[in-house]
Chain A
Amino acid sequence: MLRLVVRRLLQLIPTLLGLSVLLFLWLNRLPGGPASAILGERATEAEVARINRALGLDQPVWVQYGRFLKRVVQLDLGTSTQTGQPVWEEFTLRFPATVELSIAAMLIAIAVGIPLGYFAARRRGGWLDVTAVSGSLLGICVPVFFLALILKGIFAVNLGVFPSYGRQSTGIDATEVTGFAILDGILTGEFDASWDAITHLVLPAVTLASIPLAVIVRMTRASVLEVLGEDYIRTAESKGLEQRVVRVRHILRNALLPVVTAVGLLTGSLLSGAVLTESVFSFGGIGSFIRTAIDARDYPVLVGFIMFIAMVYVLINLFVDLAYSLIDPRVRVH
């Protein structure tokens, strides 16, 4: 087990190194280069040269790359040109909001998607199946930000059931402990603050859940259909087992294996969905921050974010691999 972890972590290194090379090249290719990013477009040539020297841009490329890499490894991702604060601090500040949102979205997608996919497969061709399949096909075709707009328009603006933006109502003065709004409310006993945070979370989380939900439904359905045709299901039925036992122990335990992998991969793409969702709901997480960074061409933030996401993605995949080896005995042996 430990060897697997170490090996996978070692495999990470070339991937992240390659990525850093790409990012470095990308930074150097940016129109105008870093100097004009700092000075603006009206800089004189002398000013540009001075900045370039200060940034070490007159040195050979590999020296520059070495410095870039050193900074990245030290989590020194530079300073945001929007806020003037270190990028890493900006991320840690906003991290809890995005994590909260992503987890909520994933929970919705899993809790709805797996049962829906299962029953759609069991009643193949029935109304539930047709609805689930067409709904999930439609789900991946709706642009995320448009879904956000529609949900916001209906439930927040017209019906007023949920708040339309932010993580917390202005009147609520919540004590911050961990930065996770719901958890903080529970920890400090301010349950109204937790509830307030939950109502703020509903619409963004549902929006963000749409694509993973669609994928999980279809994945579960396909997987269950495949398992239903397996000989061991026939064996289980031939033993006269209770339906519940057949469903949980024989069908789902096998059918959910590929779904676990899919959930891992989806968590990565959730983060880019968060950029769109958070910006529509002005949810103060990393996503909203990236959205403004794109507008402001805040490159240090973008580079930092890409490195950060790549790391998260790879770690999640590592986690999925480990989980997989725990639930599938065939993998464990090899």
Chain B
Amino acid sequence: MPLLSVDELTVTFGGGRGRKESKAVNGVSFDVDQGQVVGLVGESGCGKSVTSLALMGLLPKKGVRTGGRADFDGTDLLTLAPSRMRDMRGRKIAMIFQDPLSSLNPVVPIGIQVTEILARHRGMKGEAARKEAAHLLDRVGIPDPDRRLKEYPHQLSGGMRQRALIAMAVACAPRLLIADEPTTALDVTIQAQILELLKELVDQQGTALLMITHDLGVVAGLCDQVNVLYAGKVVESTGRRELFAHPTHPYANGLLGSIPRLDAPRGTPLTPIRGSINDQIAWADGCAFAPRCDHYTMECLTGTPELAEPRAAGHQVRCVNPIMADPEAPPVVTAESDTASGSSDEPSAPDTPTEEVPA
């Protein structure tokens, strides 16, 4: 049985006040196994962050409706009582967010922000809590943790802030860690360090990681299983290697075609996906991606396409006209290597905390 099993999750915003309802998440299903790293990939606005907030029970109560199930360790997170969800958060499921500066309370010292979660879920107080907090900071690679505990977020560098947030997230050794674009707001050099750290921690603790990102480089370096989201639906779901070798949905194919690669011959043009995520049609009318797709046909405009496995077992694709031929660009080797060495925007520098100097 998977650790987390999301089944037909829907999140609907709005309605009332004359505003149009909008489905941010429109029937998303995926599984996360114990200790597995699963990617949720898509452009901003595709519903990936809303999915994570729905799982955490952090969506506003007003004007938001959720549907479907999200079974975590035998309980449905979507219908769990708020007080029990509160017990769950931070202890069994933890989350780290995109912008580490705005995610930390500016007027409370880092130390208190770490110890408060220890007090809440592990009943630690006073000196014991402080010691454990220092230990946690040390574990996430923050030098001189005793001093850092007394400092405020603005006194830390960007990378260090994200490390502090990670320390809070792993403080109670959660079963599942949700990371929502954890490296997007960081310098490129720091990004790799943070990813490395995350990988190390989840390996040590046996924590499953749900990685939410728009960055295929992150996926290539980290994820076992990848779900590509478009307009609130999973359009392609498969293992990491299979995705990079045979991107079958035109959207996934487009995503891969729009990032620069070191292994492509010189002069190979990048092929961006045209339009933006705002150019879409309702899933009920057809494929939401059709307006941006080079391969759409009349069939794409009649009813929601279903998930199918046109290429291989376990490789699910939601497309009427999947791309069956291998990409025209030379074969993709990147994904075949186990590390992220092929991905251009991700230097796999060793974790060197010394280069983080507070701003």
Contacts and interface: CB of A to CB of B under 8 A. Distances in A.
A and B touching (Cβ–Cβ under 8 A): yes
A330 B58 contact: no
Nearest to B57: A237
A124 B61 CA distance: 12
A293 to B, nearest CB: 45
Interface string A222-255: 0000000011101111111111010001100110
B102 A333 contact: no
A237 B116 CA distance: 12
A238 B90 contact: yes
B54 interface: no
Given A240-B86, A242-B120, A333-B154, A232 B104 contact: yes
A247 to B, nearest CB: 13
Contacts of A328: 107
A57 to B, nearest CB: 56
Interface string B102-126: 1111111100100011001100000
A231 B154 contact: no
Nearest to A251: B105
A217 to B, nearest CB: 21
B143 to A, nearest CB: 21
B88 interface: yes
Contacts of A330: 106-107, 152, 154
A223 B62 CA distance: 19
B107 A238 contact: no
Nearest to B94: A238
B99 A329 contact: no
Interface residues of B, number: 31
Interface in B40-97: 56, 58, 62, 86-91, 94-95, 97
A229 B103 CA distance: 11
Given A238-B90, A241-B120, A329 B105 contact: no
A242 B121 CA distance: 10
A85 to B, nearest CB: 49
A234 B97 contact: yes
Contacts of B173: none
A232 B103 contact: yes
A232 B168 contact: no
Given A238-B89, A241-B116, A329-B152, A231 B103 contact: yes
Contact of B88 (A240, A249, A253, A329): A240
A232 B168 CA distance: 13
Contacts of A254: 105-107
Contacts of A232: 102-106
Contacts of B121: 240
A240 B89 contact: yes
B155 interface: yes
A327 interface: yes
Contact of B107 (A125, A237, A327): A327
A239 B171 CA distance: 10
Nearest to B109: A329
A37 B91 CA distance: 78
A241 B106 contact: no
B155 A235 contact: no
A252 to B, nearest CB: 10
A239 B105 CA distance: 13
Contacts of A238: 56, 58, 89-90, 94-95, 97
B106 A329 contact: yes
B87 A235 contact: no
B97 A237 contact: no
B165 interface: yes
Contact of A249 (B62, B95, B108, B152): B108
A240 B91 contact: yes
A250 B58 CA distance: 16
Given A238-B89, A240-B91, A241-B90, A231 B102 contact: yes
Given A238-B94, A240-B120, A241-B117, 12 more contacts: A231-B99, A237-B89, A238-B95, A238-B97, A239-B116, A240-B88, A240-B117, A241-B120, A249-B112, A250-B108, A329-B152, A330-B152
7 contacts: A230-B102, A235-B165, A240-B88, A240-B121, A249-B116, A328-B107, A329-B152
Q: Which 8 A-B pairs have the closest CB atoms?
A: A240-B89, A240-B90, A239-B90, A231-B102, A329-B152, A232-B105, A231-B103, A238-B95
Interface of B: 56, 58, 62, 86-91, 94-95, 97, 99, 102-109, 112, 116-117, 120-121, 152, 154-155, 165, 168
Interface of A: 124-125, 230-232, 234-243, 245, 249-250, 253-254, 257, 327-330, 333
